[in-house]
């Protein structure tokens, strides 16, 4: 899961980033509303955590503009205690949920999972290809009856490719989505992870779920 966090209070932003990373999410953080809007419109996120009072464009304006552009990314707004008007306005311009500061990070994580689940619809919580089944909610992976144990990163890589079978993903795009912005693209990290995944989900090598597209990147077999 890739999440954008727009929050200008450094302590809160750092604390959210740390917690979401521990949860296995890829996290981009910005403290500026104009930058947040640019990132939200040029990158693909599974959810956005959006503070309302931001330098530059404010949170509600960002949200309104996203929805005007028919961008349906799940948005969870951060509001200060007692600011009922903001909360109502946020929901009316298309927020999926809100959380009031101060909050417990466990609650934030649970709400992110909930808005993503709602947005994708329950039927989409399972990805399936032949005898490979991935449950996006419980994060369980099975091949036939056998459970496959994946790390958070391996899981994110697999589901990223698996959501769009047949689509070719360049290595740089995979790194950006699965590892986040600040990663040196000069490594063979993606190749190493693909090899590991292949061994785990297809030990005999007969199914060929993860195809190499020479000189470009990888795709999940259509
Ligand atoms: Ca703020």
* 138 and 33 inside one domain: no
* 110 and 8 inside one domain: yes
Distance 22 CA to ligand 1 centre (A): 23
* 42 and 146 inside one domain: no
**CB neighbourhood size of 23 (10 A):** 17
* 115 and 128 inside one domain: no
pTM of the model: 0.59
Distance 56 CA to ligand 1 centre (A): 11
DSSP 213: E
Distance 67 CA to ligand 1 centre (A): 21
> Scanning the structure block, which residue is given the tokens 């709400």?
111
> Domain residues for 96?
2-120
* 114 and 16 inside one domain: yes
How do residues 38-51 score in pLDDT, each as one tens digit? 999 999 999 999 99
DSSP 66-77: HHHTT----EEE
How do residues 39-96 score in pLDDT, each as one tens digit? 999 999 999 999 999 999 999 999 999 999 888 899 999 988 777 787 788 888 889 9
* 25 and 130 inside one domain: no
Final residue belonging to a domain, choices 67, 92, 120: 120
Shortest CA distance to 150 belongs to which of 110, 101, 197, 192?
197
């Amino acid at each position: 899961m890739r999440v954008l966090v727009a929050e200008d209070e450094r302590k809160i932003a750092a604390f959210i980033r740390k917690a979401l990373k521990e949860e296995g999410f890829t996290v981009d953080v910005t403290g500026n509303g104009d930058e947040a809007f640019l990132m939200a419109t040029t990158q693909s996120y599974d959810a956005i955590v959006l503070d309302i009072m931001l330098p530059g464009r404010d949170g509600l304006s960002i949200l309104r503009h996203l929805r005007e552009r028919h961008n349906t990314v799940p948005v969870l707004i951060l509001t200060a205690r007692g600011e009922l008007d903001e909360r109502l306005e946020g929901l009316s311009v298309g927020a999926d949920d809100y959380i009031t500061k101060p909050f417990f990070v466990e609650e934030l994580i649970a709400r992110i999972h909930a808005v993503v689940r709602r947005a994708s619809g329950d039927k989409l919580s399972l990805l399936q290809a032949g005898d490979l089944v991935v449950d996006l909610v419980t994060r369980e992976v099975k091949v036939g009856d056998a459970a496959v144990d994946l790390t958070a990163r391996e899981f994110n890589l697999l589901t990223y490719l698996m959501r769009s079978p047949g689509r070719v993903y360049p290595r740089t795009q995979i790194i950006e989505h699965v590892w986040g912005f600040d990663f040196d693209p000069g490594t063979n990290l993606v190749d190493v992870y693909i090899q590991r995944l292949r061994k785990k989900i297809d030990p005999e090598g007969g199914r060929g779920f993860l195809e190499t597209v020479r000189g470009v990147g990888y795709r999940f077999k259509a």
